[in-house]
């Protein structure tokens, strides 16, 4: 899976290091919450796990680092500005159709998407990346001349790498936020359908444990709604090469996760005692047991009847 991803991993903050919640960090950095979340997604803002390990916070030292960068806050805000096809094409001084073709063959990678009122997918791109692509001399022919024959054949064949490239980018974000092998395995499993996962993880207790770390698709509509179902389809790998790569990485990461911490299993209420056959050693000889003598009235009658007359 392709995509531009940073390699910064989430690391716990030092015990004495002050931190703040994402909402406050966004205000202090002059960002809207959506811009802040995208900056974290791209690795522009580093976060640390909160006390529960399920959320994120921003260290004061990270805020100071960002505020000390040249051009703050405009440069930071511009680095996470996203545009759609029409605005992006104007930025690159090409037609909207040209930008779409470049994105379909994987030369431009979406960073986000949303569903419009007709439930059509609208892809969004980083303005910064579009400018960089347009400024590259090596891309001049792609912008101004006829598309190369190889790319035209791909387009004529229906190629559209936008969903796959977005998944690659989103996977990079999830892996950067993971702090142990189970979380990394959950990030990989998020892009495979349940059938693929069941083929790799045949142990039901491991599947259940893995599911705890499997992130949901980005929120689009109420759970179970058509919009949410479409977002789930976009999240699920559908290219054979992509599926094979994810399956291989998931199998390897699961092996690491098992070594790190086995999946929990139900605790037995008690250990059953071994049977007589299991407890006997090869040298043991069977010992004849005397039958239990009847007690009570029946016993007295039987004993009386057994006396010689």
- Summarised one tens digit per residue, pLDDT across range 86-113 is 999 999 999 999 999 999 999 999 999 9
C-alpha to C-alpha distance for 190 and 8, rounded to whole angstroms: 21
Nearest-10 Cα torsion for 144, 145, 150, 152: 80
Determine the Cα–Cα distance for residues 240 and 4; give it in Å rounded to an integer: 22
Ramachandran region of residue 150, left (φ > 0), alpha (ψ -120 to 50) or beta? alpha
Q: Which of 10-14, 42-46, 133-137, 189-193 has the lowest mean pLDDT?
A: 10-14
pTM for this entry = 0.79
List the beta bridge partners of residue 56. Answer: 49
Give CA–CA dist 251/272, Å, rounded: 35
Q: What is the mean pLDDT of residues 277-301?
A: 44
Residue 304 to residues 72, 300, 307, Cα–Cα distance (Å) = 109, 6, 6
- Residue-wise DSSP of 105-119: TTSS---EEEE-TT-
- Assign 76 to helix, strand or coil: helix
Task: Give the DSSP H/E element, type plus range, for residue 203.
Answer: none
Strand residue runs (E) in 12-91: 19-20, 48-49, 56-59, 82-83
- Residue identified by tokens 């929990």 is 264
Provide the percentage of residues in the chain whose pLDDT is more than 90.
68
Task: Label residue 54 by pLDDT band (50, 70, 90).
Answer: low
pLDDT at 226: 82
What is the tens place of the pLDDT at every residue in 208-246?
A: 999 999 998 887 778 888 888 888 999 999 999 999 999
Which one-letter DSSP state was computed for residue 139? G
φ, ψ (nearest 5 deg) of residue 28? -70, -25
Do the Cβ atoms of 182 and 213 come closer than 8 Å?
yes
161 contacts: CB under 8 Å, gap ≥ 6: 2, 103, 104, 105, 106
């Amino acid at each position: 899976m392709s995509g531009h991803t940073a390699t910064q991993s989430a690391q716990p903050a030092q015990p004495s290091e002050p931190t703040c919640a994402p909402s406050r960090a966004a205000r202090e950095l002059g960002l809207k919450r959506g811009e802040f979340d995208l900056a974290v997604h791209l690795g522009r803002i580093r976060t640390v796990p909160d006390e529960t390990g399920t959320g994120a916070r921003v260290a004061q030292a990270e805020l100071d680092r960002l505020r000390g960068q040249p051009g703050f806050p405009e440069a930071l805000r511009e680095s996470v500005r996203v545009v759609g096809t029409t605005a992006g094409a104007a930025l690159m001084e090409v037609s909207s159709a040209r930008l779409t073709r470049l994105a379909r063959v994987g030369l431009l990678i979406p960073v986000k998407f949303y569903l419009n009122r007709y439930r059509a997918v609208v892809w969004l791109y980083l303005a910064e990346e579009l400018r960089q692509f347009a400024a590259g001399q090596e891309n001049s022919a792609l912008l101004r001349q006829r598309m190369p024959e190889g790319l035209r054949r791909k387009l004529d064949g229906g190629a559209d790498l936008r969903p796959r490239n977005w998944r690659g980018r989103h996977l990079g974000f999830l892996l950067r936020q993971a702090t142990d092998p189970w979380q990394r395995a959950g990030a990989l499993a998020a892009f495979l359908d349940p059938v693929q996962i069941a083929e790799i993880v045949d142990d039901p207790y491991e599947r259940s444990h893995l599911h705890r770390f499997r992130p949901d698709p980005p929120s689009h509509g109420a759970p179970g709604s058509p919009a949410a179902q479409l977002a789930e389809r976009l999240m699920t790998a559908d290219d054979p090469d992509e599926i094979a790569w994810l399956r291989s990485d998931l199998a390897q990461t699961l092996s690491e996760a098992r070594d790190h911490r086995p999946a929990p299993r139900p605790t037995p209420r008690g250990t059953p005692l071994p049977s007589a056959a299991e407890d006997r050693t090869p040298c043991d000889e069977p010992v004849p047991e005397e039958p239990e003598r009847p007690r009570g009235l029946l016993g007295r009658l039987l004993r009386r009847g057994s006396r010689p007359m």
